[in-house]
Amino acid sequence: MKKNKKKNIMTLIALLLFIGFLAIADRIFDSYQMRIINLAGIYVTLGLGLNLINGFTGLFSLGHAGFMAVGAYTSAILTMSPELKEMNFFLKPIMPFLANVEWPFFPALIMAGLMAAIVGALIGAPVLRLNDDYLAIATLGFAEIIRVIFTNTQTLTNGALGLKGLPSFNNSFPYSFVYWSWGTAVVMIIGMVLLIKSSYGRAFKAIRENEIAAEAMGISLFKHKMMAFVIGSFMAGMGGALLGHLVGTIDPLMFRFLMTFNIVLIVVLGGIGSITGTVIGAVVVTVMLEVLRVLDGAMDFGFIQIQGIPGLRMVVFSALLMIVIIFYQRGLMGTNEFRWEWVTSPKKTLTNAWNNRKA
């Protein structure tokens, strides 16, 4: 009991420190660094959604980009001013009932999540009966179908032209965007921890370990799979909306399979089934992609100069990724989570890790 109280206090302090960090970062960093921090925060939300579906419940879904598209478009259409919409929809006017809608960001963000969750429920109902590979390919198929539909609905999404001028919500309120991106991420992290610790979370894990045994124990497969899928879709929708507002413009091509793959990558790198891992994975991947940019330019090692090879960055990045996949299959964290004991008794932690290195 006493120990718990101590940990809670530490957690609270950590949270306050983090908010402090964001406030300081907002002051002293330039926009480029802030953008990377923002992106990392958004990827945390997106990664957690996918990890809930893939990592904790063991449903291999590859449809994340589709739900992101639903969320991004919902939020964009709801928050853009009527004048902006008129400017964007210069080929065909937008549907009349959406033309004069202008919501503040917060309700639009929640709505984006809800729309994605509804679509998730509609898709989940038929496909969740399928097992691994079939489910993967069916969800991928649905994501593509969503994209093709958005490309063809000129009066709803502006089709291939995309939408431009999404409100950035930067510096509105006393907040800058970083409070939206990381605020959402923090709420999602807390929500995930509570969910995974609850009886639902235990049921998810049971389904992941062995469906048949879980069902025999009286766990309703459909109910729990659906729940994980819908909550994951909700997070994808919110993440998609945040991403849209960060970039300021969206179009259907943004949400190709490559987008899903980026998120899968974050989850795999961090550890399938670890919340801590996803957070670390999101930060590492976002930062890495920027750090590796030097590879595309000309490099000067003092004694030798290399002409820039365009595309080298992505080759190195994908090669590093393959190395991680093949040699560290469990990712950085495996299914472990951060524990205060690591900080309070590091020696013990390291000894344990050393003793269990083979496991």
Interacting residues with another protein between 276 and 315 (CB under 8 A): 276, 279-280, 283, 287, 289-290, 293, 296-297, 308-315
Q: Nearest distance from residue 91's CB to another protein, in Å?
A: 5
Q: Nearest distance from residue 114's CB to another protein, in Å?
A: 24
What is the distance, to the nearest Å, from the Cα of residue 101 to the centroid of all Cα atoms in its chain? 27
Stretch that binds another protein, among 95-103, 193-201, 220-228, 299-307 (CB under 8 A): 193-201
Question: Considering the rule CB under 8 A, would residue 54 count as an interface residue with another protein?
Answer: yes
| C-beta of residue 68 within 8 angstroms of C-beta of residue 233 | no
Contact with another protein (CB under 8 A) among 88, 176, 181, 233: 88
Question: Considering the rule CB under 8 A, would residue 175 count as an interface residue with another protein?
Answer: no
Q: Nearest distance from residue 139's CB to another protein, in Å?
A: 10
Q: Between 99 and 323, name the residue whose CB sits nearer to another protein.
A: 323
Which two structure tokens, joined as six digits, stand for 29?
Answer: 């960093």
What are residue 299's DSSP bridge partners?
306
Contact with another protein (CB under 8 A) among 127, 214, 230, 235: 127
Classify strands 299-300 and 305-306 as parallel, antiparallel or unpaired.
Answer: antiparallel
Question: Considering the rule CB under 8 A, would residue 29 count as an interface residue with another protein?
Answer: yes
- The residues, any chain, with a CB within 8 Å of residue 333's CB and separated by 6 or more, are 270, 271, 274, 276, 277, 280
Q: Which amino acid is at 154?
A: Q
> Under rule CB under 8 A, how many of the chain's residues touch another protein?
115
Stretch that binds another protein, among 110-118, 172-180, 188-196, 228-236 (CB under 8 A): 188-196
Question: Considering the rule CB under 8 A, would residue 165 count as an interface residue with another protein?
Answer: yes
Classify strands 249-250 and 163-164 as parallel, antiparallel or unpaired.
Answer: antiparallel
How far apart, in whole angstroms, are the C-alpha atoms of residue 164 and residue 87?
Answer: 9
Tell me the Ramachandran region of residue 334: left when phi exceeds 0, alpha when psi lies from -120 to 50, beta otherwise.
Answer: left
